[in-house]
């Protein structure tokens, strides 16, 4: 069985890998947008209708405002790369949801949720932009779809499983929710890898810089996260994330480069 899974893994890697638009790295993805996005949009709508969405407050307006600025930055980035059609399948949405959890997430296709619990730590518009940039980056780099793919192989389903799931929408939905860790007590959540986290941090800073925010604010945000979380209780958003110190120093180190790249992109587009 193990051999088969390994074989399927290699086979899928050769046939289904996509090139990450930001890093140029090849990545594994069994499920294409056609499979993933309808699931994501459905799961998001379910979530939004069964949770308390905050509307028409200063905070919720801020989420909308920053969300639009960050996605416009993504558009500028892909325009610069002469690959604007990359964003065709995305349908951006930003909602603030009443929940004490210190968390925010983005489903494939650009469906974003901020919990009210994270707003005190976000503190400012730039802080929101740092979180928004990070979450949008996960979506742009297709980390969720890759995580679903990795999960499928882990479970030994391989191609057979993918075919099987097409006929079993409920199982597919479970896999989907599991990949996103939506719902607090989902067993066997597949965390984003450290590599994905770093990637989302770097891309996120680029996006916030293009949007006109100071990318150095990302490190400050994570310092506030660190100060907030006593050892006993790690905020949900951090539970699978790299250690605070590593992350903060990486963010600090990469902020100047994010600024320089943003400037280059803006200059090039203004020519």
* Active site residues per annotation: 135
| The two three-digit tokens of residue 42, written as one number | 């459905």
The residue to which tokens 């969300």 are assigned: 67
Binding positions for Zn ion, 136-165, rule CB under 5 A: none
Burial 111-120 (b: 16+ CB within 10 A, else e): bbbbbbbbbe
Least distance (Å) from Zn ion to the CB of residue 208?
15
Query: Would you give the distance in Å from CA 56 to the centre of its chain?
Result: 25
Q: Which CB, 200 or 202, lies closer to Zn ion? A: 200
First to last CA, the chain: 57
The total number of residues shown for the chain amounts to: 271
- In whole angstroms, how far apart are CA 40 and each of 44, 68, 123, 256? 6, 20, 29, 35
Judged by CB under 5 A, the stretch of 21-29, 59-67, 165-173, 192-200 that binds Zn ion is 192-200
Least distance (Å) from Zn ion to the CB of residue 197?
5
Q: Which CB, 141 or 200, lies closer to Zn ion? A: 200
Binding positions for Zn ion, 63-122, rule CB under 5 A: none
Total residues contacting Zn ion by CB under 5 A comes to 1
Q: Which CB, 16 or 228, lies closer to Zn ion? A: 228
Judged by CB under 5 A, the stretch of 62-70, 98-106, 194-202, 223-231 that binds Zn ion is 194-202
Least distance (Å) from Zn ion to the CB of residue 135?
7
Binding string, residues 3-22; x marks residues near Zn ion by CB under 5 A: --------------------
Least distance (Å) from Zn ion to the CB of residue 100?
20
Q: Which CB, 69 or 134, lies closer to Zn ion? A: 134
Counting Cβ atoms within 10 Å, is residue 88 exposed (0-12), middle (13-18) or buried (19+)?
exposed
Binding positions for Zn ion, 195-254, rule CB under 5 A: 200
Torsion of CA 127, 36, 98, 227, to 10 degrees: -40
Q: Which CB, 71 or 198, lies closer to Zn ion? A: 198
Would you tell me which residues interact with Zn ion (CB under 5 A)? Answer: 200
């Amino acid at each position: 069985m193990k051999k088969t899974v390994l074989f399927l893994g290699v086979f899928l890697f050769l046939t289904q890998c996509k090139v990450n638009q930001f890093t140029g790295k090849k990545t594994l993805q069994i499920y294409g947008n056609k499979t993933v996005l309808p699931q994501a949009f459905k799961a998001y709508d379910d979530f939004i209708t069964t949770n308390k969405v905050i509307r028409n407050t200063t905070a919720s307006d801020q989420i909308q405002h920053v969300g639009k600025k960050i996605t416009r930055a993504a558009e500028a980035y892909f325009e610069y790369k002469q690959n604007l059609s990359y964003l065709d399948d995305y349908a951006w949405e930003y909602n603030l949801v009443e929940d004490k959890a210190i968390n925010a997430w983005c489903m494939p296709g650009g469906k974003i949720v901020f919990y009210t619990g994270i707003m005190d730590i976000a503190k400012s518009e730039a802080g929101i932009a740092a979180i928004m940039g990070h979450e949008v980056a996960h979506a742009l780099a297709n980390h969720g779809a890759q995580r679903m793919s990795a999960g499928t192989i882990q479970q030994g389903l391989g191609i057979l499983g993918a075919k099987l799931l097409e006929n079993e929408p409920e199982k597919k939905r479970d896999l989907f929710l599991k990949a996103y860790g939506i719902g607090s007590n989902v067993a066997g959540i597949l965390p984003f890898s450290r590599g994905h986290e770093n990637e989302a941090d770097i891309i996120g800073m680029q996006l916030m810089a293009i949007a006109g925010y100071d990318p150095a604010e990302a490190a400050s945000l994570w310092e506030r996260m660190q100060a907030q979380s006593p050892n006993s209780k790690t905020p949900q958003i951090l539970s699978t994330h790299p250690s605070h110190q590593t992350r903060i120093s990486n963010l600090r180190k990469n902020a100047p480069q994010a600024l320089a790249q943003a400037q280059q992109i803006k200059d090039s587009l203004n020519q």
